């Protein structure tokens, strides 16, 4: 059997469709964010990163760096085991307490990533709760979809952010079956925000538990960075809040928060929690420093909002269409995978601007886009440079259209 030929055949198909993924080989430069070096074909060039999920630049915050360095000196590199077998360190528990406090919950549980936390929590809930039915928003992230699939629980998909559809589907289900309504607050690709209050009201009416992924909101929304549910005063009405330490908090790791019994249940039964080495204590210490800082500092969030507004304003003035939403995510729809890649290549080569083309399966086919995430560290000059680059591109496209 020529396995490589089998692999290559499918890779070639991806390339023909324009869906093959090319990674930019970046070298982040501490203190220079959003500027970084890009390694390409033996060349190294400075680029401005416009698609990072280190939304506030906390990955280079001196407090976070100091916390990680201090903890490495104090505890060494790795955790030394799974949480069960010698891997639970004091720093993990301090972080879990900080997370429970962030969301005003009794308890929190740490995972090696946000993906793993969704996958493990949903697969455990769906498989361990007898006759459980999971109602999943159609726009949910792959980590939730995979967790639900793995649970083998009955799954009902409701229309994205459509509370009437959710209610219609809930109403048809057996009253006494345990139900979970799983959704996100900020959807990362369109940047739209769920009507959390209405979803909670409907879920409460039908006795369903609520499972909320706040991955793209923690650190960024709410007076202490607790997410959109904190901003809306709804945290205590959500059964389980899930988040990441890898995006706005600038480190790595994922977590769930909820009642003590819920977290103990996942801790006790989730394979994805039990059978893997705990995060390095230094990672936990750095994440906690980031969380605690953003609990009491609003300046990063305010500056980010200002830069997001400036980019939107610049795009509007230049006549470049972008998806409007209430979040920090600025999608420019191109709707074709090959064109999206061409535009991204051009921005990188001619303008030193790095924005990753977003293609299938991250977004549905035909909705390919460039997705910009302005941070508090993108200067007004960075924004002007991006708008100038896109303006020049748009003019060239208009010319191309006219000639064609
Ligand atoms: C990125 C992402 C995750 C996974 O979080 P990681 O910490 O990166 O593994 C979960 N949910 C959503 C909506 C995400 O975008």
State whether the beta carbon of 143 lies less than 6 angstroms from ligand 1: yes
State whether the beta carbon of 215 lies less than 6 angstroms from ligand 1: yes
pLDDT at 272 > cutoff 80:
yes
Q: Show the beta-strand stretches assigned E in 76-208.
A: 107-111, 133-137, 154-158, 179-184
- Taking only the tens place, the pLDDT of each residue in 22-68 is 999 999 999 999 999 999 999 999 999 999 999 999 999 999 999 99
State whether the beta carbon of 292 lies less than 6 angstroms from ligand 1: no
Which pLDDT does position 402 carry in this prediction? Answer: 59
The verdict on whether omega for the bond into residue 333 sits within 30 degrees of 0, i.e. cis, is no
CA 22 to ligand 1 centroid distance, Å: 20
Which pLDDT does position 400 carry in this prediction? Answer: 65
For the record, the structure tokens of 262 come out as 């819920």
In the sheet that 43-49 helps form, which strands lie side by side, from edge to edge?
25-28, 35-40, 43-49, 353-354
For the record, the structure tokens of 178 come out as 């345990």
Half-sphere exposure of 164 (CA within 13 A, CB side): 0
pLDDT, greater one: 390 or 399: 390
State whether the beta carbon of 52 lies less than 6 angstroms from ligand 1: no
- Taking only the tens place, the pLDDT of each residue in 160-191 is 999 999 999 999 999 999 999 999 999 999 99
Beta pairing partners, 372: 330
Tell me which residue of 73, 77, 64 sits closest to 30, measured CA to CA: 64
| 225, 102 contact by CB (below 8 A) | yes
CA 141 to ligand 1 centroid distance, Å: 7
- Taking only the tens place, the pLDDT of each residue in 200-240 is 999 999 999 999 999 999 999 999 999 999 999 999 999 99
> CA-CA distances (angstroms) from residue 307 to 1, 113, 213, 231, 304?
55, 28, 25, 20, 5
| 135, 161 contact by CB (below 8 A) | no
Helices (H) and strands (E) in the chain, counts: 14, 14
Tell me which residue of 349, 312, 350 sits closest to 332, measured CA to CA: 312
State whether the beta carbon of 140 lies less than 6 angstroms from ligand 1: no
| 158, 135 contact by CB (below 8 A) | yes
**Averaged pLDDT of the chain:** 97
CA 402 to ligand 1 centroid distance, Å: 42
Helix or strand run (H / E) with residue 258 = strand 254-258
Rounded CA gap, 273 and 368, in Å? Answer: 34
Check 247, 295, 303, 339 and give the catalytic one: 247
Which ligand 1 atom minimizes the distance to the CA of 184?
13
Alpha-carbon Rg for the chain, nearest whole angstrom, is 22
Rounded CA gap, 391 and 397, in Å? Answer: 10
Which pLDDT does position 398 carry in this prediction? Answer: 73
CA 291 to ligand 1 centroid distance, Å: 17
Give the pTM: 0.97
pLDDT at 403 > cutoff 90:
no
Q: Measuring from atom 7 of ligand 1, which residue has the nearest CA?
A: 114
CA 1 to ligand 1 centroid distance, Å: 37
247 has catalytic annotation = yes
């Amino acid at each position: 059997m020529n396995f490589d030929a089998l692999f290559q055949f499918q890779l070639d198909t991806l390339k023909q469709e324009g869906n093959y993924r090319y990674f930019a080989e970046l070298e982040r430069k501490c203190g220079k964010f959003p500027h970084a070096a890009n390694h390409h074909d033996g060349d190294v060039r400075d680029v401005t990163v416009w698609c990072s999920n280190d939304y506030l630049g906390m990955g280079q915050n001196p407090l976070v760096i100091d916390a990680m360095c201090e903890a490495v000196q104090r505890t060494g590199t790795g955790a030394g085991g799974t949480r069960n077998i010698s891997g639970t360190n004091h720093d993990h528990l301090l972080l879990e307490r900080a997370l429970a406090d962030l969301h005003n919950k009794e308890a929190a549980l740490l995972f090696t990533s946000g993906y793993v936390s969704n996958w493990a929590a949903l697969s455990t809930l769906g498989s361990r709760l007898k006759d459980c039915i999971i109602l999943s928003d159609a726009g949910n992230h792959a980590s939730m979809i995979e967790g639900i699939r793995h649970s083998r629980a009955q799954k009902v998909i409701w229309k994205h952010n459509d509370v009437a559809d959710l209610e219609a589907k809930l109403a048809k289900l057996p009253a006494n079956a345990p139900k979970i309504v799983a959704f996100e607050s900020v959807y990362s690709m369109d940047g739209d925000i769920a009507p959390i209050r209405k979803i909670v009201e409907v879920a409460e009416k039908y006795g369903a538990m609520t499972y909320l992924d706040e991955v793209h909101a923690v650190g960024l929304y709410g007076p202490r960075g607790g997410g959109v549910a904190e901003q809306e005063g709804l945290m205590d009405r959500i059964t389980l809040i899930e988040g990441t330490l890898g995006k706005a908090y600038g480190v790595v790791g994922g977590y769930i928060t909820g009642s003590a019994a819920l977290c103990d249940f996942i801790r006790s039964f989730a394979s994805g929690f039990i059978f893997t080495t705990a995060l390095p204590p230094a990672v936990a210490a750095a994440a906690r420093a980031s969380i605690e800082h953003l609990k009491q500092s609003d300046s990063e969030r305010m500056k980010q909002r200002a830069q997001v507004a400036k980019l939107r304003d610049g795009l509007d003035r230049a006549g470049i269409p972008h998806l409007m939403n209430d979040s920090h995510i600025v999608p420019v729809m191109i709707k074709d995978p090959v064109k999206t890649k061409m535009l991204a290549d051009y921005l990188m080569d001619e303008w030193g601007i790095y924005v990753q083309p977003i293609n299938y399966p991250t977004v549905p086919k035909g909705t390919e886009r460039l997705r910009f995430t302005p941070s508090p560290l993108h200067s007004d000059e960075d924004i002007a440079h991006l708008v100038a680059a896109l303006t020049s591109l748009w003019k060239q496209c208009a010319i191309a259209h006219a000639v064609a």
